[in-house]
Structure 1
Amino acid sequence: MDISLQTHQSYIGKSVHDLPTPALVLSKSVIEKNVNRLHEDVEKLGIGFRPHVKTLKTIEATRIMLANGKYRKIVASTLCEIRGCLPLVKEGILDECLYGLPVRPSVLNDLNAFTTQHNLKIVLMVDHPDHIRILDEFNTRTGRTAPWPAFIKVDVGTNRAGIMNSSPRLDQVIQSANASAAVSIYGFYCHAGHSYASKTTDQAVKVLEEELNGVLMASEKLVDRSKTEEIILSIGATPTAHVVANLKQNLPANTNLELHAGNFPANDLQQVATGLVSFDDQAVRVVAEVCSVYPERNEALINAGVIALTKEASSFSGLARWTDGIDWSIVRVSQEHGIFGWVGEESKKEKVENKFHVGQKVSLYTQHACITSAMYYVMYVVDEQDIVRETWIPWKGW
């Protein structure tokens, strides 16, 4: 087990330059700024909000995203995340959790227990008639009489989970759900993961509108609404969430809109690449250490490789960028090593020996904060002077 689980509190009051490396650093003021910005947009529109807890995976970050109970619903992708949030249920600031993967038989006992033992409302995700069948079978086998509230997942172009509006399977799922005593249609849900390709506000607004139109079209197929008092249309992804204030739409009667987003407290190079957030909006950094310098090839080696960073990219080349010199990128990685290389203009090329030395601590912006954050057992939370003020322990596992 990582030694940081035993030593992390000893670094409170110390500088990030004193941290063992590699280390994950969170700027709390940036997290709060990012969260407040989205909360303000949601409030202006008067719509619902459901944060996804997958990025920072901590009770502290979740409490901030929920505004300490102003918002009372979350999305979680793992049972571990739901268990981690149970103290917030006990505190009375969390009421409902959407399990964000299409439901499968092996999780139903646990999901049912979250409701029966902890009084947490669990909402499911379905996109196949077999999902309705396994819920019928579970309720029959266990004697559960309450129907499972379920979002029907609509695919609006991400090609991950969900059903295209043009697919006859959408009607099949709706009909199966309406005919089942084990399911209550809660609403329609989509996630525009492809919105990460947005480069302008107009492009992001267009994706958001496509999302809304997608779930509206799907909801029109729902002939029998007698099982639900209202239908929730849940849309969003962090890039489109940043332009939610641009959304203006009259919704049908008996329909409410909610926004979901997960990465927004943290942000990363992928988000900066959309043009909708700035470098200063990134709350996550990795602190690493220079292990060697190679003037003959103008590169330096650090002790942060693929399992300390990520394996994803964006329009920013490389897997991470040096916060003190954005034209120095991690251009190659192995498991535990990363290679700094110059990626800026050749005419302005800097010599590696003038920028790096053995033992130097370097801070890195990473490409995908969700993946990077999941690698660490401790998150060092710093103030605006980069002094560690708190340590957060993320939920690990599935």
Structure 2
Amino acid sequence: MAYKSDNSEHIQLQERLRKEYVGKSVDEVPTPAFIIDRSIFEDNCAAMIKKANEWGAQFRAHLKTHKILYGVPIAKNKIQPLQQLRNEIVPYNGIVRLLLDHPQQVRFLEEAQGEGASTRWSVFVKVNGGQNRAGVGPASEELKVLLTTILGSPAVSLHGFYAHAGNSYGSTSLSEAQSYLSSEVQMVNEAASFALESFKDELGSGHHSQPFVLSVGSTPTAHASGAEAREIFERALHGKLELHAGNYPLLDLQQQHTSLIDYARVAQHVRATVVSYYPGRGKGGEDEALIDAGAIAFSKDTGPSGSFGEVIGKPWKLLRMSQEHGILVCKDSADPSGKLEIGEAVDIIGQHACLIAAAYPWYYIVESGSKEVVDIWIPWKGW
């Protein structure tokens, strides 16, 4: 949950930045800079909606990559700002929906709700899909205790069951991603079946969603969804399917390695400047170059490709980093495009767009095939 900021200040900053940079070339922006290709971004969003439609599912956008709001099981200190947010969006038919995986979280909501309150929080139960990041196991004793607490509470309304296959980022093929997706669906479906069998009377109170929403997905498994995958689960679902994902508008090297997308669909990159050059300094005699973007600009997430990032159109990889600078290494000195000049700007695709985007106070927006800045986007910062 992001902290509330002064929207008027946000708008004023955006207008100042637009006046300064819109119409200029990205060659004129200070580096390091986070660049988004709006055309590719929009195409990626449209492709994901199409996937959900093919699967016959609702779609829930995480939006954590370019940061608006992002949910984890509710913490006590987030309840008040969430209440403020709920009050703001109710007139627009907006709903704040929470994730829960422990009875104490329900107690926190009850304490904050106060006596006589009539509005219930809509909640998903977070199901542990096997990664042990968050959630309770399907058909577990922990799930039974949590459901008993939820269904007996005046503060919450059960909406459905939610799983996220974070380990699916290790997929390297469509069939592997579909296997992760199948596992997600089985987990939430088992939890829903357990709830229906164990709490039939309580669920008939009218305070809880029927049928349940079964929410599954990550960017790799969402890319693997579709009509064929849907047929596997259609026979015995205990609710309505919902697909969710977050990285899909921007994408990155980690997603490219899954083989489910190619470089042409990556909508973001970091623009950095070469500040020094070291011929033959690499362990194997490779040339190296120093850039003005390091761990803060890229994060230290790596991936199966074995680097922190790759230079677009040139045989250079970002192999070492300190806080404020990085070291590029030339992987093919025979390539005529391999030479870099001091002062030259390079465009680098990093491993994990979500962490990279979080480092930047604003994003420069361009259209495919053009260096002209057409807009400035300002992300919502914080938690």
1:314 is paired with a residue whose SS is coil
Match of 1:241 in 2: 222
1:383 counterpart (358, 364, 367): 367
> What one-letter code is carried by the residue in structure 2 that aligns with 1:115?
R
Match of 1:213 in 2: 186
CA distance in 1, matches of 2:337, 2:236: 63
> What one-letter code is carried by the residue in structure 1 that aligns with 2:355?
I
> What one-letter code is carried by the residue in structure 2 that aligns with 1:133?
R
> CA 1:51–1:317 in 2, change beyond 3 Å: closer, same or farther?
same
Matched positions, count? 350
Match of 1:101 in 2: 72
- Corresponding position: 1:173 with 2:146: yes
CA distance in 2, matches of 1:244, 1:135: 35
- Correspondences of 1:109-124 after superposition (within 5 Å): 109-119=80-90, 120-124=94-98
CA distance in 1, matches of 2:148, 2:275: 61
> CA 1:387–1:117 in 2, change beyond 3 Å: closer, same or farther?
closer
1:57 is paired with a residue whose SS is coil
CA distance in 1, matches of 2:239, 2:121: 19
Match of 2:127 in 1: 154
> CA 1:238–1:148 in 2, change beyond 3 Å: closer, same or farther?
same
> Could you tell me how far 1:158 is from its partner in structure 2?
2.3
- Corresponding position: 1:393 with 2:378: yes
Match of 2:173 in 1: 200
What's the CA shift string for 1:233-292, capped at 9, x where partnerless? 000000111111142221657721110111100000010011111011110111000000
1:139 counterpart (88, 109, 113): 113
1:186 is paired with a residue whose SS is strand
- Corresponding position: 1:331 with 2:319: yes
> Could you tell me how far 1:144 is from its partner in structure 2?
2.3
Match of 1:23 in 2: 33
> What one-letter code is carried by the residue in structure 1 that aligns with 2:349?
Y
1:317 counterpart (277, 301, 306): 306
2:56 counterpart (32, 35, 46): 46
> Could you tell me how far 1:170 is from its partner in structure 2?
1.1
CA distance in 2, matches of 1:56, 1:362: 22
> CA 1:292–1:256 in 2, change beyond 3 Å: closer, same or farther?
same
Alignment check: 8 A CA contact 2:219 2:246 kept: yes
CA distance in 1, matches of 2:101, 2:43: 36
Q: Percent identity?
A: 36
> Could you tell me how far 1:112 is from its partner in structure 2?
1.8
- Correspondences of 1:212-231 after superposition (within 5 Å): 212-222=185-195, 223-224=199-200, 225-226=203-204, 227-231=208-212
Match of 2:339 in 1: 355
CA distance in 1, matches of 2:220, 2:72: 21
CA distance in 2, matches of 1:232, 1:366: 34
> What one-letter code is carried by the residue in structure 1 that aligns with 2:358?
A
Match of 1:281 in 2: 265
> CA 1:216–1:380 in 2, change beyond 3 Å: closer, same or farther?
same
CA distance in 1, matches of 2:293, 2:237: 53
1:185 counterpart (158, 173, 198): 158
Alignment check: 8 A CA contact 2:121 2:157 kept: yes
What's the CA shift string for 1:355-377, capped at 9, x where partnerless? 11110000000111111111111
Please, which moves more after superposition, 49-58 or 209-218? 49-58
1:329 is paired with a residue whose SS is strand
> Could you tell me how far 1:165 is from its partner in structure 2?
2.2
1:106 is paired with a residue whose SS is helix
Alignment check: 8 A CA contact 2:139 2:191 kept: no
CA distance in 1, matches of 2:237, 2:185: 15
Alignment check: 8 A CA contact 1:323 1:363 kept: yes
1:299 counterpart (284, 288, 299): 288
> What one-letter code is carried by the residue in structure 2 that aligns with 1:173?
L
CA distance in 1, matches of 2:99, 2:129: 15
CA distance in 2, matches of 1:282, 1:171: 42
Match of 1:95 in 2: none
What's the CA shift string for 1:15-57, capped at 9, x where partnerless? 2222211111000111011111111111222210010121112
Please, which moves more after superposition, 359-368 or 122-131? 122-131
CA distance in 1, matches of 2:235, 2:147: 20
Match of 2:284 in 1: none
Q: Which is strand-richer, 1 or 2?
A: 1
When normalised by structure 2's length, the TM-score is 0.86
Please, which moves more after superposition, 144-153 or 291-300? 144-153
CA distance in 1, matches of 2:337, 2:250: 32
CA distance in 2, matches of 1:354, 1:44: 43
CA distance in 2, matches of 1:176, 1:370: 34
Alignment check: 8 A CA contact 1:9 1:391 kept: no
Alignment check: 8 A CA contact 2:17 2:376 kept: no
Which residues of structure 1 form unaligned runs of 5+?
A: 59-75, 78-99
> What one-letter code is carried by the residue in structure 2 that aligns with 1:373?
A
Match of 2:6 in 1: none
CA distance in 1, matches of 2:50, 2:341: 44
> What one-letter code is carried by the residue in structure 1 that aligns with 2:376?
T
Alignment check: 8 A CA contact 1:295 1:351 kept: no
1:229 is paired with a residue whose SS is coil
CA distance in 2, matches of 1:191, 1:38: 16
Alignment check: 8 A CA contact 1:158 1:191 kept: no
> Could you tell me how far 1:153 is from its partner in structure 2?
0.3
